[in-house]
Structure 1
Amino acid sequence: MKVPSPVAFYPPLKSPRHPTPSGDRTMARLLMAALERAGARPELMSELRTFEPAGDPRRQAELREAGLREAERIVAQVGARPPAERPRAWFTYHVYYKAPDWIGPAVAGALGIPYLVAEGSRAGKRAGGPWAIGHEGAEAALDRADAILVLTGADREALERHRPAGQRLVDLPPFLDTAPWTPRVGPRPAGPARLVTVAMMRHGDKLASYRLLAAALGGSARDWTLDVIGDGEARPEVEAAFAGFGTRVRFLGRRDDRSALAAELRRADLFVWPAVNEAYGLALLEAQACGVPVLAGAFGGVADVVRDGHTGLLVRPGDAGAFTRALDSLLADPDRLAALSRRAAAFVHGERGLGSAAARLAGALEGVREAACA
């Protein structure tokens, strides 16, 4: 029996142990699970969060220094272990200008091990602005990476354009542990179309999406109800946006338990989310795995998790009228909605499970090891 190979794991944006749920926390956990299935033994090496959202150069400099000190600590700690217990590779999840990796490149260099990044984003326009320090750290980490696992086509374009010689770009489409997310069994209950959305209630892009959804629903001529699953500091503003719909809209709060969330999703006919500036949206995959097709705005990497016309519909970003028209066309055609439902479940369970992700990760790890030995 092959002994799992130790791999250092680090998420500078949000630890898998962070108390607040989010897509980043979920993906960090999923990556660790997929690494295990790929034959690795991931170890969370640090929970230093380098996220700096305000554009504060002083805070970014403090985080850089903290990261370098943390790297020194880890090198000393790992160096004291028996050789068989030392990591064979360093794996960082999600590097961009607001959450650079100051630790991984330093540790990987000191230990002489490959350095991999999953979900790395380049943003050249941040080079001279308030996030200049964070941008510098993110670019240095991405330049240093032996391999970058690319989650979306939106990220790939810039990564290809600035790829250093010898760096491997490996496609790793967003994925799920599909076990909890099973489709509904049995006929659809009678009554109005059941819409659902799942998102945190934060100011900024999330609130903009909620307001856009309310505007789109306000123009609909169809009979529907909407269940909103999520919570957060912007809840008063979200509730105000939907106040005119009365009892047609229910606010269910957070559903941290995956089984409870899956049960709510299975009751729905259509998942609706404008997805303003969404990176990709794991909730869209979860809905499809439950056999719920998606209507979303075509922002960012949303097209990498929803197959337009096959598992759902994507509309022009930020266009409430286009969203309304797409919604009404779907609700007027139950047969089309049912076909999208079947294909959505087949897509996620067939192509976006842990097994598919583990195979890609195993290939990436083997590739960088072979390159290191060449």
Structure 2
Amino acid sequence: MAGPLANIPIAFYAPMKPPDHPRPSGDRTMARNLLAALAAAGFTPQIAARLRSHEKAGDPAAQRAIRDAALREADLLVARWTATSAPDRPRLWFTYHLYDRAPDWIGPAVARALAIPYVVAEASLTPSRADGPWRIGHVATVAALRQASAVFVLNENDRPCLLGAAELADAAMAEKCHALPPFLARPALARPPAPSPLASRPQPGVVRLLAVAMLRQGDKLASFRVLADSLALLAGRNWRLTIVGDGPARAEVAALFAPFGERVVLAGLAPPEAIDAIYAAHDLLVWPAINEAFGMALLEAQANGCPVLAGDAGGVRGVVRNHETGWLVANSPRATLAGRFAARLDDLLAQPELLPPAGAAGVAFIRQQRSLASAASILRDTLTPLLPSQDGPP
């Protein structure tokens, strides 16, 4: 693997949320992981812009204002880099996570002006938005994908959407799509976890359940509702649940789990140095995963020997090995998900001896197939040919 002496500048941009945003999320974690993998591949990534283009209300005027601000920022970047010596200019633009509601107007403009490759990781399109209130973002995303020299697919559910879009349905799009499975930027169980206040068992025989997610409205709150409904069907079983996370829906989540009393602990946000120990101190991560893209918490849990019970949604199947590192529950129809989730959880609570082997398998899975090294190798092999031969990492 190339070291830092390769020193090949890459401009990095995440229109959904910049990697150094103060609010934690799976999106921010994946952006940080990509920065680490690019560096491990022998490049020098730099955050080029922090403008957030995410517009979820469907307000065309707001979208146009974001677009105009983005294009002004693109002009400033082009002016700055044009006046910079060639070795210090970015040789490639790398955008993480763009879609109709969070398009990238900056990267394509800068890449065209500097005549450098434009690359995307995690992109999706929704056909219904082609003529709806997000038409501006839809058109911009299609244009960006057409311009892209490579598109890394993190969630395999996105691939049919990209290749099936009428505006992108051609052989060239298929050829530039490359699989980049979600990964972690740190080794599985690289060191013993630090002591955690959540590490002690409340009583012998209790199965320690864990949920790690932001407490916000929408799909996260919907998943918490399913989880609460599932646990209500298992009141006679010997379990305790810890919820790690915080957010604007904390009061709603607290109300959902209030009937369980001391069996459920809302632990709030966990500092980065404590999260590994929290995973390792629990027996099973439980998450219904409503509309989950793939779920970074699912990867983190497995890396720390905590198996997973999750809804089989989005790209979850790509990060959890069913019946090996965890168990997946059919996510549809949603009206009966709580019952199916409870039934599978009931089986596991009745057979807790299944959990440690699955936890060990998860550690091996992350180390062997979802590591920083494996992601760096994919990035290196794909990006190097896009650059002039003298610019690739040695």
With the length of structure 2 as denominator, give the TM-score of the two structures: 0.90
Tell me what 1:270 maps to: 284
**Secondary structure of 2:18 counterpart:** coil
Q: Is 1:344 aligned to residue 362 of structure 2?
A: yes
Tell me what 2:251 maps to: 236
Q: Is 1:91 aligned to residue 94 of structure 2?
A: yes
Q: Which one of the candidate residues 218, 240, 246 is aligned to 1:225?
A: 240
Measure how far apart 1:188 and its partner are: 9.7
Deviations 1:323-369 (A, max 9, x none): 01110111212332222111111101221111111001101111323
Tell me what 1:36 maps to: 39
Tell me what 1:254 maps to: 269
**Does the 8 Å contact 2:184/2:370 carry over to 1?**
yes
**Does the 8 Å contact 1:4/1:39 carry over to 2?**
yes
Residues 106-125 of structure 1 correspond to what in structure 2 (within 5 A)?
A: 106-125=109-128
Measure how far apart 1:183 and its partner are: 8.5
Tell me what 2:210 maps to: 196
Q: Is 1:16 aligned to residue 19 of structure 2?
A: yes
**Secondary structure of 2:368 counterpart:** helix
Measure how far apart 1:28 and its partner are: 1.1
Which amino acid is 2:318 matched to?
D
Tell me what 1:128 maps to: 131
Measure how far apart 1:163 and its partner are: 5.1
Tell me what 1:311 maps to: 325
Task: Supply the distance in 2 between the matched residues of 1:364 and 1:95 (Cα, whole angstroms).
Answer: 20
**Does the 8 Å contact 2:55/2:62 carry over to 1?**
yes
**Does the 8 Å contact 1:197/1:272 carry over to 2?**
yes
Tell me what 2:312 maps to: 298
Percent identity among equivalent residues?
49
**Does the 8 Å contact 1:183/1:266 carry over to 2?**
no
Q: Is 1:103 aligned to residue 106 of structure 2?
A: yes
**Secondary structure of 1:153 counterpart:** coil
Task: Supply the distance in 2 between the matched residues of 1:137 and 1:50 (Cα, whole angstroms).
Answer: 11
**Does the 8 Å contact 1:95/1:119 carry over to 2?**
yes
Task: Supply the distance in 2 between the matched residues of 1:193 and 1:182 (Cα, whole angstroms).
Answer: 25
**Does the 8 Å contact 1:271/1:284 carry over to 2?**
yes
Deviations 1:4-45 (A, max 9, x none): 211111111101111111111111111111100001001111
**Does the 8 Å contact 2:188/2:303 carry over to 1?**
no
Tell me what 1:53 maps to: 56
**Secondary structure of 1:208 counterpart:** helix
Measure how far apart 1:211 and its partner are: 0.7
Residues 152-191 of structure 1 correspond to what in structure 2 (within 5 A)?
A: 152-161=155-164, 162=168, 164-167=170-173, 168-179=176-187, 181=189, 190-191=204-205
Measure how far apart 1:59 and its partner are: 0.4
**Does the 8 Å contact 1:180/1:259 carry over to 2?**
no
**Which stretch shows the higher mean deviation, 285-294 or 215-224?**
215-224
Q: 1:361 to 1:163 in 2, by over 3 A?
A: farther
Unmatched tracts of structure 2, length 5 or more: 194-198
**Which stretch shows the higher mean deviation, 1-10 or 196-205?**
1-10
**Does the 8 Å contact 1:11/1:28 carry over to 2?**
yes
**Secondary structure of 2:381 counterpart:** helix
**Does the 8 Å contact 2:183/2:371 carry over to 1?**
yes
Deviations 1:132-187 (A, max 9, x none): 111111111112111000001111112233355544111111111234755879x9
**Does the 8 Å contact 1:178/1:349 carry over to 2?**
no
Tell me what 1:359 maps to: 377
Which amino acid is 1:366 matched to?
T
Task: Supply the distance in 1 between the matched residues of 2:200 and 2:60 (Cα, whole angstroms).
Answer: 54
Task: Supply the distance in 1 between the matched residues of 2:120 and 2:300 (Cα, whole angstroms).
Answer: 24
Q: Which one of the candidate residues 6, 11, 26 is aligned to 2:9?
A: 6
Measure how far apart 1:68 and its partner are: 1.2
**Does the 8 Å contact 2:117/2:149 carry over to 1?**
yes
Q: 1:261 to 1:34 in 2, by over 3 A?
A: same
Tell me what 1:334 maps to: 352
With the length of structure 1 as denominator, give the TM-score of the two structures: 0.95
Measure how far apart 1:245 and its partner are: 0.6
Q: 1:367 to 1:119 in 2, by over 3 A?
A: same
Measure how far apart 1:303 and its partner are: 0.8
Task: Supply the distance in 1 between the matched residues of 2:191 and 2:207 (Cα, whole angstroms).
Answer: 17
